[in-house]
Every structure is written in C-alpha cells, then in structure tokens.
Structure 1
C-alpha cells in the first residue's frame, strides 16, 4: 500500500509541473494578445493566432476587424481574469472571466495548440454572456 501511495505521489509531482508550465505558457500567449488588442496592435495580436485562424483571416487588419465586431468584450473590457484550465497532448483550454466596458460579465473559452516549433498559438475563442448555457 505504501508503494502505491508513493507511486501516485511521484506521478502527481511529475505531471503537475508540466500542467502548470503548459497553462502558464497558454496564459502568457492569451495575455500578450489581449494586451496587443488594448494597444490596437493588429500585427502583434495576429501573431498569436494559429495557422488555421490565419487561413480564415489572411491579414492582420482583417483579423482585428473581426475581433472588434465579433468579440468586443475580448477586444475592450474592464476586467480580464483567468479561470479553470485543462491541458492534454499539446492542447489547452483556458477559461477567462471578462467584464466588458458596460459592466456585463462574459465567459470566454480559449483553445490553444502547440505548434511544430514548440510555440503555442490560439486556435479559437468561444464567448458567452455569463450564465448562458453552452
């Protein structure tokens, strides 16, 4: 029994830092894009988008216009706080609690994927008013 407990403890300790590193890296990417939005820096914001997103929006200005129109609470807000995260096999889902400029609460779910060069890129963002069903 002690061996089993020890093995579980070791397994937890080996996986927990990797999870924390993955989530920390994902949060850094999301935060860098959020800060680029706040500066109006389309090129910097676009640089954090995954190739699939760049295929849909082939230029940084087109991407920025889409974000402004479709993701206004992500683009401009009063509060932007990280919530629960999940990571597995190079994929990360990160929940973000947002309060928009009008004081309305939103929930964003960012997805990120590790690229061939090891970097993380944002593959999507789902946005719902807080309390709405998925």
Structure 2
C-alpha cells in the first residue's frame, strides 16, 4: 500500500472559494481549494456546504442537499469520509479543470478520484463530476 501525504491543511472556516481565477495556475489552485473544502464539509457532516460546491447540472440531478449528501455517503464512502487525501495531476482545458485526488478510504484502501470542475458564468468553478476508481497497487517495497 502506498503512503500518501495528508493535505488536509484546510482552514476551519467555511468560506466558499468563488474568487475568479486569473491564470491557469490560479484556476487549478482554486479547484483544489474547492475540492478540499467540499471534502471537509463531508467530514463535518455539513450537507449545505458540500452542496454549495456542486455545479448546476449536479443540482439538477439532486435537487436537495439531503439527496446529494445521501448519494455521496452511500456511493462514494472514500470521498465522504477519507482517511486522508492528496492532490495529484491536474489539467485545464478552456473552462474545464480535471483534478486527480489520491484518497485513502475509511477502510484503508487507496482510491483515485478524478474530479471535473466547470467554470461558471461568474468565472467561479463548481464540481460537475467525480469518477472514483480503486488505486492500482504500487511495486512492493
């Protein structure tokens, strides 16, 4: 099992990161802040804050905070309550950011989450999708 660095150095305040990104590097940093704040909201069992980071398309599929939160809790346990997580590779393509997040689930298993964030009309970013796959084991050490 590979070791992961805990990057849970998030501020304890619940200020939503909606500041427009000026450069591609700023956009990726903003995306990481958004993902981190949403994961922190899951850890705090805070449906309102977690839901605030969802894109309009996600809100259309899950029109209530409770429905969204329950779906994540049931289908994405490693994201809902990770043991720890670290940001991996990121790519920006126009108004879309793909961000890899390496997650250690509550059961100790490693996962890779690929987040898709879309730029909104106000130039903020919102989480539009997340695909979760088991992490492949690394070489034996």
Query: Where does structure 1 lack aligned partners over 5 or more consecutive residues?
Result: 1-16
Which residue of the partner structure matches residue 120 of structure 1? 125
Provide the secondary structure at the position in 2 that maps to 1:77.
Answer: coil
Aligned residues of 2:96 and 2:117 also touching (Cα < 8 A)? yes
- The structure with higher relative contact order (CA 8 Å, sep 6+) is 2
Corresponding position of 1:69: 74
**SS in structure 1 opposite 2:53?**
coil
After TM superposition, give the deviation of residue 38 of structure 1 in Å.
Answer: 0.6
Number of equivalences: 116
Question: What is aligned with 1:41?
Answer: 46
**Other structure's SS at 2:32 match:** helix
Computed over aligned residues only, the root mean square deviation of the Cα atoms, in angstroms, reads 1.3
User: Which residue in the other structure is 2:88 paired with?
Assistant: 83
> Which 4+ residue blocks in structure 1 deviate beyond 4 angstroms?
none
Of the three residues 94, 119, 124, the one matched with 2:99 is 94
C-alpha separation in 2, matches of 1:34 and 1:77? 8
Greater helix proportion: 1
Q: Is the 8 A contact 2:77 2:106 kept in 1?
A: no
Structure 1, residues 72-130: CA drift from partner, whole Å, max 9, x if none? 00001111100000002110000000001111000000000000011100000000000
In 1, the alpha carbon distance for the partners of 2:69 and 2:86 equals 21
Alignment partner of 2:108 out of 72, 93, 103: 103
User: Normalised by the size of structure 1, how large is the TM-score?
Assistant: 0.84
Per the alignment, residue 30 of structure 2 pairs with: 25
Q: Which runs of 5+ in 2 are unaligned?
A: 1-21
TM-score where L is the length of structure 2: 0.80
